[in-house]
Amino acid sequence: MKKIKPESSLKKSGGAAGKPGRQKPGNAEKRGRAPSRVEIRHIAERRRAEEHFRSVVETACDGIITVDSAGKIIFWNKAAEILFGYPASEVTGKPLAAILPERYRKAHEQGMRRALSIGESNINGGAVKLEGLRKDGTEFPLELSLATWRVADDVFFTGIVRDITERRQAEEELQKHRDRLEELVDERAAELKAVNAALEREIAERTETERRIRTTNSLLKLDTQKVSLREYRDAAAELIVAWSGCRHVDIRVIEDREHIPFASCAGCGPEFMKSESRPSPGTDRCACIRMISGEEDPPDSSVMTPDGSFYSNNVKQYVEGLTGARQARFRGVCTQCGFTSVAVVPLRYREKVLGAVHLADEREGMAPLESVQFIERLAFIIGEAVYRFGIEGERSRLVSAVGSTSDAVVVTDSRGIIQYVNPAFEKITGYTKDEAVGRDMHFLDSGRHGKTFYRELLETLARDGVWSGRLINKKKDGALYYEDCTMSPIKDPEGKNINYVSVRRDVTEKLRLESIAESVNTMENIGYVFSGVRHEIGNPINSINMILGILKSKLDVLPAESMRHYLDRMTEQISRVEYILRSLKSFNLYETQELQDVPLGPFLKNFLPLVREDLEKKGISIETSVDPGAAWAFADPRALQQALLNILTNASDAVEGRDHPTVSMTVCRSGGMVRFRVRDNGCGIPEEKLRDIFKPFYTTKEHGTGLGLVIVKKMLARMNGTVEIESRKDEGTVVDIAVPEGNPDKVGPNH
């Protein structure tokens, strides 16, 4: 590197930087001669070079400072003046420490060479960064590039000073951006890591979901295949083994005898099968039994799912943690067989428990909660299938029973079109199943029932949900037959009628036999009636004949008072005969009735006060209760009143002489009938006499005729009603009268 003389040397030599002075003599002068042209030219060129160099230094953008070996400033260009704020005249000859902050001055005092050679291994061409001190006392960052040069034995330092405030700001800003970028990179890396982890979880969840979907679809597919219940259960157990990874899966189903045997097994050993084949809720206790029987055990909540399944991934440890009393609830078969993970999931159809799915494995952790909860969903599918198989079995048994019954069974749609008939129908009617199915039920009509009959049948069916009655129909060969029929609707889950089923029994032969029996009974009753008439009328006539004989033989000698006595006795006997004749007339009084819809409110309002007044005169308490729903009756109002009056009269006679005599009457509606119940606390009727109570002239009263209840039964029969009597000696009697319920919609405005 070419060495350049410092400014001080230039000044001493009278250079451009210093004041004009005497110049050093050239070589020629030293030799005492004038310089040659060549020397003059060299001198001129050197001076031009020096002037050019000085011009470059003065106009440089960076500050240029030269110091001597003592550390004093000997040169200071314009850029340095601008940079530090000092003109050259103020700093020339001063130590370099004057333009450095305090922290650098101490280093300068220890040795200027050491202070200016920070990073001295690269002193030439190297650059150091430090702080500069301006004249106004402010500090600023600068970059100092140092170079050394020598003149003889003197060492000089020239430094190029550059203000790096903007660069430092840019670097700081760049560092901020770099730091922020690193933060963003870290954040992004964390996000990518989280996304990757989430993606891995999603892939795992999706894979698991797909496995679950495939398992569920395979289970549902079994429903579409024509398999038996056993085959279905076996396949379901194998599917759960394949999905769960458990080595042992069995399905238990409750039997009718309440045992819970294995219905299907996959992977269970013979010892376990033998010990667990016949557990019973009545005698055994374990997790399986409690799950199936629904027995609550709150301390088990730690091993129970929200839907009521038992699971443990270390059942031995769980059982050891129980108290002695609760340990007895575990038979320990699973642990004895070496199982560690155990789960018991109930098989349900809706709210009904049908059995359980039992999982077991020797390994720990094979029954996690999420797996058990998925098996709970499979258990609902299996439970529904098990229930359906059971229903299908019941349906098969029902079809077999319907097919073998002697009563005809007919199923129609909601329009009355036949959809099914059993073999008994074919036998009774003569029509085959193919001939009947698809036809309207009316193809059996005999013409004996009019439109009104069928309209009322449908009204009763709609109102009560069932119709029972007797039909006269026609067979295929034209013969008429009687059948007792019960018809009811079949409803869908929304309550809409979708079918009607009727059970029909041919009673033609029964009616013929009953007719024969009735004829025999009628003849017996006629004989009984004639015997009663002879007895009831014969006795008074015999008494009259005896009195007339006495009067005839003693007519001339009898006093008037005795004559009057005999005549009174004759009149009394004649009155009894008249009473009997009137009773016989009443027997046929209501032979022809006018049936109509009777409003019970007005009817009872007129009837009860008359009865109450008569009973209260006898000291009898009467209680009445009328159901508001019992509003109408279909009857003859005169006959109904006569029947009720007869029953209440019998009740008043029965309580005569009893303590606190009481008669009660309740009116209610039941099964399409209006029922009048009359109860008394009277003397009652012995059981041996109760069976003859409806025979003509049979009476338990001292002065009764035995025709009252016979007349009541006959009148009620004419109204399609009934009368029933229950009685216990010394406890009282209950009489139930029932007549058909009325239909107010058929009552005219002037009713």
CATH number for 521: 1.10.287
**The pLDDT value given to residue 290:** 65
Residues 267 and 380 in one domain: yes
Show the tokens assigned to 311.
């699971």
CA–CA distance, 278 with 291 (Å, rounded to integer)? 16
Residues 247 and 139 in one domain: no
What is the chain's Cα-based Rg?
Answer: 64
CA–CA distance, 237 with 230 (Å, rounded to integer)? 11
CA 603 distance to own-chain centroid: 52
Q: What is the CATH number of the domain that holds 486?
A: 3.30.450.20
Residue 240 lies in a domain: yes
Residues 383 and 410 in one domain: no
Q: What is the CATH number of the domain that holds 392?
A: 3.30.450.40
CA–CA distance, 642 with 708 (Å, rounded to integer)? 10
**The pLDDT value given to residue 503:** 92
Residues 439 and 409 in one domain: yes
Q: What is the CATH number of the domain that holds 624?
A: 3.30.565.10
Show the tokens assigned to 560.
């008037």
Q: Helices (H) and strands (E) in the chain — how many of each?
A: 24, 22
Residue 702 lies in a domain: yes
User: Which residue range is the domain that position 255 belongs to?
Assistant: 230-397
Residues 654 and 735 in one domain: yes
Q: Are 664 and 624 contacting, i.e. CB atoms less than 8 angstroms apart?
A: yes
CA–CA distance, 126 with 142 (Å, rounded to integer)? 14
Tell me the mean pLDDT per 10 residues along the chain, length 751.
40 37 49 72 77 77 83 87 89 84 68 45 60 87 79 75 85 87 89 90 89 88 79 86 88 67 66 59 60 59 83 84 67 75 86 84 90 89 82 72 84 90 92 92 85 83 86 90 90 84 88 62 52 64 79 78 81 73 53 80 86 84 88 88 86 85 90 88 81 64 62 81 87 90 58 39
Residues 478 and 614 in one domain: no
Last residue of a domain, one of 163, 185, 217: 163
CA–CA distance, 349 with 268 (Å, rounded to integer)? 26
Show the tokens assigned to 457.
């049948």
- Strands of the sheet with 262-266, listed across from one edge: 262-266, 248-253, 352-361, 341-349, 310-312
Secondary structure string (H, E, C) spanning 293-338 = HCCCCHHHHHHECCCCCEEECCHHHHHHCCCHHHHCCCCCHHHHCC
Residue 708 lies in a domain: yes
Q: Are 611 and 664 contacting, i.e. CB atoms less than 8 angstroms apart?
A: no
**161 Cβ neighbours under 8 A, 6+ residues apart:** 62, 63, 64, 65, 80, 83, 132, 142, 143, 144
**Long-range pairs of 588-596 with CB within 8 A, sequence gap ≥ 24:** 589/711, 590/636, 590/638, 590/639, 590/642, 590/714, 590/715, 590/718, 591/718, 593/636, 593/639, 593/715, 593/718, 593/719, 594/636, 595/634, 595/635, 595/636, 595/719, 596/634, 596/635, 596/636, 596/637, 596/751
Bridge partners of 717, per DSSP, are: none
Residue 84 lies in a domain: yes
**The pLDDT value given to residue 283:** 55
User: What residue type is 192 in one-letter code?
Assistant: L
Residue 244 lies in a domain: yes
The secondary element (H helix, E strand) that includes residue 57 is helix 37-59
- In this structure, the strands spanning 248-253 and 262-266 are antiparallel
Residue 25 lies in a domain: no
Question: CA 402 → CA 409, 425, 500, distances in Å?
Answer: 7, 11, 15
Residues 147 and 186 in one domain: no
For residue 513, how many other CB atoms are within 10 A of its CB? 11
**The pLDDT value given to residue 475:** 92
Residues 582 and 611 in one domain: no
Residues 129 and 256 in one domain: no
CA–CA distance, 181 with 202 (Å, rounded to integer)? 30
Last residue of a domain, one of 472, 506, 540: 506
Residue with tokens 């035995």: 706
Which ranges in 154-304 belong to alpha helices (H)? 165-224, 229-244, 270-275, 287-293
Is the alpha carbon torsion for 194, 196, 200, 205 positive or negative?
positive
CA–CA distance, 341 with 8 (Å, rounded to integer)? 100
**The pLDDT value given to residue 1:** 36
Residues 261 and 154 in one domain: no
Which of these, 650, 654, 665, lies nearest to 732 by C-alpha position? 654
CA–CA distance, 63 with 132 (Å, rounded to integer)? 12
Which of these, 381, 382, 378, lies nearest to 212 by C-alpha position? 378
**The pLDDT value given to residue 438:** 92
Residue 23 lies in a domain: no
Residues 244 and 297 in one domain: yes
Residue 19 lies in a domain: no
User: What residue type is 399 in one-letter code?
Assistant: V
Extract the runs of DSSP E, i.e. beta strands, from 584-691.
Answer: 596-599, 621-626, 632-635, 662-670, 673-680
Residues 357 and 410 in one domain: no
The whole model's pTM is what?
A: 0.41
Is the alpha carbon torsion for 55, 57, 63, 68 positive or negative?
negative
The secondary element (H helix, E strand) that includes residue 19 is none
How many structural domains are present in the chain?
6
Last residue of a domain, one of 565, 587, 609: 587
User: What residue type is 113 in one-letter code?
Assistant: R
